[in-house]
Structure 1
Amino acid sequence: MSSFLDLYEPLDIIGNGSFGIIRKVRRKSDGAILARKELNFERMSERDRKQIVAEVNILKDLNHEHIVRYHDRHVDRDAGILYILMEYCGGGDLSTLIKQSQKHGRPIPEDTIWNYFMQILLALHHCHHPNGHSRSGSSGEEGENGHRRAQILHRDLKPDNVFLDDANTVKLGDFGLSKALAQASFANTYVGTPYYMSPELMQEKAYDSKSDIWSLGCLIYELCALKPPFHEAKTHSELSVFIRNARIPPLPRGYSQALAGVIKAMLNLNPAMRPSAAQLLQHERLELSFKVFETQKMYVISPQSDARLSAAETLPSGSPPRNRTNCPSKRGSAIWPRGRRDVRLSNRNMLR
């Protein structure tokens, strides 16, 4: 056991939880900074242990640029401690960004929101469409041991679970409530965080990947309004009523109708009418964010530069996009009409 711990230099504690801590560590062999979960599994219930095992197994299969990367694990049975080594995200999470914006009275720029939105969608697309074509940041459709990967539902998408690395790249994390759907298309387990929970989850109905899309709609709304769409609800039953009545306050002034329209589409009460991650990535504004993001990868950006500059401010003018085909889009798609900046779903029922 000591030999495993000796491989890493312990640094600051960066998180606390019910069963342990998250510690920043430095790998001695190459100086890489990682995050190490140190969990006391003897204090866990059988259900909690299964949840941890499920998270590790899911993360081992999800090798993607926009998903927090799993590195290694080790069990110290004598001490009752499970060590999980993960990618370290030095930029914090979106919840912290929202709180900072509230504190300073500064709205998050729309360019920044589209940029984060696009990166989260790339991660969700990788989870929801495991056997589809390769997407940006994906290592392919197969899992760690070469088997075909199951579809993954995140089931707890919220600002606290979306992280940023030192380069301001989005990393989707905390897959503790995630579910792998190997064969079935729908799940029935009641999980999630109430403010971001889809109507079908709240009603304990069967759900699929469109439940994650609802949660993403709530998250993007919160990046704009700096509070969840149903924040006025004080009880679970009141929240259910608000959601059923679609009581969503309008976005603050300054945000575009295009962004408001996409959020509204994601918060459709009917899961079948919500766009998928693949369909959302065909939106003209999200395609633009993708091109900007891919172009920026071609340039060395100083780490001293402001990590929260909007994508438009840091893009070198006249630069061509790289690897255009990595973004799941189709020119002239009927889903997102072309030719105007205020783009809405062509299927009007999706916006009702």
Structure 2
Amino acid sequence: MEAYNVIQHLGRGTYGNVFLCEKIHNKQKVVMKKIQCETTSEIIIQAKNEAKILKMLKHPNIIEYFDSYFRDNEFHIIMEYAQHGTLYEYIKVNKPDLLSKEFVISTFTQILLGLDQIHNKFIIQRDLKTENIFLSGPNRNVVKIGDFGISKTLQNIDKTKTTIGTPNYLAPEVCEGKPYGRKSDIWSLGCVLYEMCALERLFSGPMAKVIMDIKSGVKKTIPIYQYGHGVQNIVNLCINVDPKRRPTTKSLLAHAEVIPMHASLMVNLANYCFPRLS
């Protein structure tokens, strides 16, 4: 078991407090999530579930799991530290006029690659949003999916029914309490893509309006002059109210807007680096 120094409190995750720490022996920075054992058994179950799922997922576009253990009446999860924070923070703090198309397509493709690995493992992320997309690398050019506290392993079934997640990103079938599967993550992915392009959430406002707009399949247009009709097409495909008509991660990776970036990322991944983005 590693020994760590706590550097600072980063905030709260789905449950528990999150700290930036460093390993004493080599000064490597890591993230430590601490969950009090006095909390409800359900929270501890979720924390163990997150550790179990993270351990299953080894991919450059997913936050890496290092360790988990009980100590001092707390459950600890040790994870990779993404030094540039979340995509949500990047948009909110920088308040750019618009993100470059290269950044948007690269970020989207890397999220898609991570999500493809998640779905290949028969897991639903269930809370895909800009707050759970982390930026790493020297120039914010490495993108990682994190926070698997409410993720679900499908095991021998294709769908689940628990209504859970962040309301602004919920798929219609989740809002309606219907069985749902991996296509619910595709809906959330479309919401994230729209948010990167428009710098605002696709569904926002009072909760009743958000749910009504989601169930009715409200569509909005991104800045076409910046991103083109191809990116708008991806958004529209992802937020189809019929989950059967939404694409899979594999079909999205074959989309004309994604193929060149996918190929570039695969070449650079083979060389253990990613292209620099402005």
Deviation track 1:147-185 (CA, whole Å, cap 9, x = no partner) reads xxxx10000100000101133311101001100011001
Query: Counterpart of 2:202?
Result: 229
Take 2:14 and 2:126, find their aligned partners in 1: how far apart are those partners?
A: 20
Please identify the structure whose Cα radius of gyration is greater.
1
- Conserved? CA contact 1:101–1:226, under 8 Å: no
Equivalent residue, structure 2, for 1:201? 174
Partner Cα distance (1:17, 1:31) in 2 = 24
Deviation at 1:239, TM superposition (A): 1.9
What letter corresponds to residue 221 of structure 2 in structure 1?
A: P
1:121: Cα distance to partner? 0.8
SS in 1 for 2:59: coil
- Give the aligned partner of residue 91 of structure 2: 98
Q: Distance in 2 between matches of 1:184 and 1:31?
A: 43
For structure 2, the residue ranges without an aligned partner over 5 or more in a row are: none
Match of 1:172 among 145, 148, 155: 145
What SS is found at the alignment partner of 1:242?
helix
CA deviations 1:241-294 (Å, max 9, x no partner) are 212332222112422100000110001010000000011001122121122223
Are the counterparts in 2 of residues 267 and 274 from structure 1 also a CA contact under 8 Å?
A: yes
Q: Give 2:49's aligned residue.
A: 54
If the length of structure 1 is used for normalisation, what is the TM-score?
A: 0.73
Inter-partner Cα distance in structure 1 for 2:267 and 2:56 = 28
1:186 counterpart SS class: coil
The alpha-carbon deviation at position 47 of structure 1 amounts to 1.4
Match of 2:62 in 1: 67
The answer as to whether partners of 1:19 and 1:41 remain within 8 angstroms in 2 is: no
Any conservation in 2 of the 1:230–1:248 contact (CA below 8 Å)? no
Compute the displacement of 1:45 (Å). 1.3
Q: Which runs of 4+ in 1 moved over 3 A?
A: 16-20, 294-302
CA distance in 1, matches of 2:20, 2:6: 7
User: Are residues 1:187 and 2:178 paired?
Assistant: no
Cross-structure match for 1:218: 191
The 1-side partners of 2:9 and 2:158 are apart by 40
SS of aligned partner of 1:63 = coil
Deviation string for 1:281-316 (max 9, x for gaps)? 0112212112222344567979xxx9641xxxxxxx
Quick one: structure 1 residues 40 and 258, their matched pair in 2 at CA, closer, same or farther if it must change by over 3 Å?
same
How do residues 72-87 of structure 1 correspond to structure 2 at under 5 angstroms?
72-76=67-71, 79-87=72-80
Q: CA deviation at 1:97?
A: 1.5
Structure 1 unmatched ranges of 5 or more:
131-150, 310-352
Aligned to 1:244: 215
Distance, in Å, in 1 between the alignment partners of 2:179 and 2:265 is 36
Aligned mates of 1:275, 1:120 — CA distance in 2 = 15
Residue of structure 2 in register with 1:263 after alignment = 235
Contact 1:196–1:215 under 8 Å retained in 2: yes
Distance 1:163 1:17, change over 3 A: closer
Residues 297 and 125 of structure 1: CA distance in aligned 2, closer, same or farther (over 3 Å): closer
Letter in 2 for 1:255: Y
2:269 and 2:127 map into 1 onto residues whose CA distance is 29
Match of 2:131 among 146, 157, 160: 160
For residues 22 and 245 of structure 1, what CA distance do their matches in structure 2 show? Answer: 37
Which structure shows the higher helix fraction? 2
Tell which deviates more after alignment, 244-253 or 268-277.
244-253
Which amino acid is 1:152 matched to? I
* Number of residue pairs aligned between Structure 1 and Structure 2: 275
- Return the TM-score normalized by structure 2: 0.92
SS in 2 for 1:254: helix
Q: Aligned partners of 1:24, 1:101: CA distance in 2, in Å?
A: 22
- The one-letter code of the counterpart of 1:11 is I
Q: Secondary structure at the match of 1:31?
A: coil
Q: Secondary structure at the match of 1:208?
A: coil
2:98 to 107, 112, 115: 107
Structure 1 residues 248 and 25 mapped into 2: Cα distance closer, same or farther (>3 Å)?
same
SS state at 1:127 partner: helix
Mark the CA change 1:82 to 1:195 in structure 2 (over 3 Å): closer, same or farther: same
Is the contact made by 2:14 and 2:147 (CA closer than 8 Å) also made in structure 1? no
